[in-house]
Structure 1
Amino acid sequence: MGDIMKSNNGYIVISYLFAIIVFLIFKDAVLVAFLLLLLLTYHLYDIYQLKQSFLKEIADTEGNLKISIQKEKQKRLENYSQFLSLSQTLGSGLIVVNDLGIIDFVNKDVKSYFIEVDYENHEYKTFSLIKPLYKFINESYLLESPLRKQIMYNDKYYDLVNTPIFEGRFFKGCLIIVHDITAIKTAEKFQKQFTADVSHELKTPLSVLKGFSEILDRDINMDSKQRVEFIGMIKKEVNRMETIITDLLTISKMDRLDYELKLEKQDITTVINDTINLVKSFAVEKNLKISHNLESCMLNIDATKLSLAFINLIKNAINYTDEGVIKIKGMIKEKNYIVKITDTGIGIDNSEVENIFKRFYRIDSNRSRETGGSGLGLSITKNVILRHEGTISVDSVLNKGTTFIISLPIKK
């Protein structure tokens, strides 16, 4: 544009010099005026053309700039859309904090973790309602290296990881990832409790064994009748320890991720009848009868595991029943096979029903130890039933009896 203006200015100078030369030669002022007017008209037209070219160049530049801005805007929108999509599928909470320490964005997981916050109200941007999180943001958002911390809120545990964002040497904000680790913490707590319970359960029979063995070792002249009695008690505690260890190994196998059932089509009545034959001697010892009424049905089951579950339930009924009958009924109901095991024993208080499937939980500790129970039987039973995609429930009346109800799916 500058070159064109310089060229045009040179043309004007030449035009005026030409007009002066014409005047000097022809001495005709009218001719010179006409010539100057003609030159001026041409010059004005040239300026007009120049202006139009300049305006077109500006318009083209503006249009290209608008296109560039639109493309950049579209690219930013696409990136933001991808960011939103990714943030909502993380499976963890995501918080974006800007360079002023103000929260710019939270995803749906954060909103589900901290539901008390009014996310439609801009006051949430400081998370002042959630003091542990607010404190973490204030402590960490200006740090140059990642920071990790665990907080507890509303009886839940969260793991927070803060990662700072820099452009060159300039701090631009930070990303905070929030993981709900309540399940992990619960599992750790459960594992610690389980270890403590195992230690306690094994310590009791070991103490008994140690005590009786020391007495037998000291008193070599002990009465033979008393010696037989002590040896019987030792055998009983050894059997109890064996039961605990066997049940512990069973639970350990069930807790493994690769634990699988060996499913086969079998008549459920065969499994139940075989189980009854295995435990019948325990009922005979207590003068109890076992009656059963079973409707035949082919189910896709692991007979060995399911038999273990039924053994635990029937033996449980025998152990907690001093007189009466153990009734076992099996029937088809819609798309399920229902097994009911009913006793006329001591029953279960309503306050304890929800706890009976917990590991090492006992309603009557003394009776359980007398019968050699490990406190793990019902937990194993429930695990087996659930792995068969079934359900187990309890209906009990204190001092009148208990009914365990098992429902197993009938699959074609």
Structure 2
Amino acid sequence: MNINREYLAIAVGYLLVILYIAFINNAVINIILVLILLFVHLQVYTQFKKRLSQEKDTSVNKLQSRLEKTKRLQEEMAERFFSLSQSFGSGLLLVDEDGIIQYVNTDMTNYFGEIELDQDYQKVHTVDELHEFINKAYLIEAPMRKQVRHQGRSYDLISTPIFEANIFKGALILAHDITALKHAEEYQKRFTADVSHELRTPLSAIKGFGEILSRDGISADEQAEFIQLIRKEADRMEILLKDLTEISKLDRVDYELEKEQVSIQSLIEETVGVLKPRIKEKQLQVHVDIEDVNLDIDKNRMKQVLLNIIKNALSYTDEGSITITGNKEENRYKIAISDTGIGIKEEDFDKIFKRFYRVDKARSRDTGGSGLGLSISKNAVMKHGGTIHVSSALDQGTTFTIYLPL
């Protein structure tokens, strides 16, 4: 707009001079006017040229600034993408329309070995499962999914094709480590099978005794005996269902202990008091030696732990004694429960805390145990930030040791 005005001013100036020269016949004045006009024109032209140059420089600078800003944004986006892909928690590989690997993150190389960039995917020296998956994803140009195993771990491979204007431009390959999920699925299957088996045993017994009772010619004494057996199996089922409920609670991630300050001596004496009838029945001696402290614990949970372990000691000790000690040891509190029972084989030490595992299955059935007591105890102790250990010798006895934070 400013440039057009300057052109107009120059044109008007020329027009006025021409008109003046046309009507005034004074050569000197005419020459002076022409010189003045030329001078003004030269000044205007110089300013005009200078302004054009400045505006051009300004436009170039603005364009350059925009280009630099765009470049910085692209670099920042690339850095963010790289950072995100490296901390993605899954493997990532990008192959273009020519089959050349353009990008691979650290997780992918950790999963399947070193993969070089800018090479044909068919030359990748990695596991066969990954190579076959990339090959198929590249050829069919469609989404794919497959689970593979490599070096003892399980991976979920996902391929997503990349299109631009309906033209295939490559494929993005993702690899998720699903080993933990597979273990959880396997554990769930085993757990379900174990529960089914544990429930089937008492149910079969109850059904069998019920059929016998329905027959004619059963004496009153036999009826009383079978009814007692049915009650015993029903009690086993009740204990099992109760323990399964406890297991499910402790397995929950959001489960919170109801902690309070508890005298450990009072808790142990209270627990032993509950078991006095059984102790008297088995004619065993119970020795308690406790250094009393107040611990920040869930009283009911820890009482359950102590009950489970002392009940085990009573079940597997026919003569002798049970000793319960407690004392501070550095920054933790140690509780040891020892018996003079039948003992446990060393190869069973790691197994006894597993669910439904029984060292002596026959004796466990007689005592009505569910096979979940020690597993529940370990989970409860771990929820408190503690640990539980076992030591034993055959025909000499067993000691369970619990460590809790002070």
| Normalised TM-score (structure 1) | 0.78
Change (3 A) 1:349 1:174: same
Pairs within 5 Å for 1:1-400: 74-114=72-112, 117-119=113-115, 126-222=123-219, 224-400=220-396
Q: Please report how far the alpha carbon of residue 122 of structure 1 lies from its aligned counterpart in structure 2 after TM superposition.
A: 8.3
Counterpart of 2:314, as a letter, is I
Counterpart of 1:198, as a letter, is V
Q: Please report how far the alpha carbon of residue 64 of structure 1 lies from its aligned counterpart in structure 2 after TM superposition.
A: 9.6
SS at match of 1:90: coil
Query: Is the CA contact 2:91–2:106 (under 8 Å) kept in the aligned structure 1?
Result: yes
Distance of 2:206 and 2:142 partners within structure 1: 58
SS at match of 1:355: coil
Counterpart of 2:275, as a letter, is V
Partner of 1:18: none
| Normalised TM-score (structure 2) | 0.79
CA shift digits 1:372-409 (9 cap, x unpaired):
00011111111100111111111122222211111111
Distance of 2:235 and 2:120 partners within structure 1: 62
SS at match of 1:283: helix
Higher mean C-alpha displacement, 395-404 vs 301-310: 395-404
Query: Is the CA contact 1:294–1:331 (under 8 Å) kept in the aligned structure 2?
Result: yes
Percent of paired sites with the same residue: 48
Counterpart of 2:175, as a letter, is V
SS at match of 2:275: helix
Q: How many residues align?
A: 352
Change (3 A) 1:101 1:281: farther
SS at match of 1:250: helix
Higher mean C-alpha displacement, 360-369 vs 279-288: 279-288
Distance of 2:109 and 2:400 partners within structure 1: 41
Distance of 1:124 and 1:268 partners within structure 2: 68
CA shift digits 1:133-169 (9 cap, x unpaired):
1111111134444222211222221111111122223
Partner of 1:20: none
Counterpart of 2:125, as a letter, is S
Higher mean C-alpha displacement, 87-96 vs 198-207: 87-96
Query: Is the CA contact 1:332–1:338 (under 8 Å) kept in the aligned structure 2?
Result: yes
Q: Which runs of 5+ in 1 are unaligned?
A: 1-58
SS at match of 2:93: strand
Change (3 A) 1:66 1:153: same
Change (3 A) 1:331 1:122: farther
Query: Is the CA contact 1:101–1:137 (under 8 Å) kept in the aligned structure 2?
Result: no
Distance of 2:216 and 2:287 partners within structure 1: 49
CA shift digits 1:158-203 (9 cap, x unpaired):
1111111222233222222211111111111111111111111111
Q: Please report how far the alpha carbon of residue 359 of structure 1 lies from its aligned counterpart in structure 2 after TM superposition.
A: 0.9
Q: Please report how far the alpha carbon of residue 244 of structure 1 lies from its aligned counterpart in structure 2 after TM superposition.
A: 0.6
Distance of 1:112 and 1:268 partners within structure 2: 49
| Superposition RMSD in Å | 2.7
Q: Which runs of 5+ in 2 are unaligned?
A: 1-56
Distance of 2:186 and 2:229 partners within structure 1: 35
Change (3 A) 1:101 1:349: farther
Counterpart of 1:370, as a letter, is D
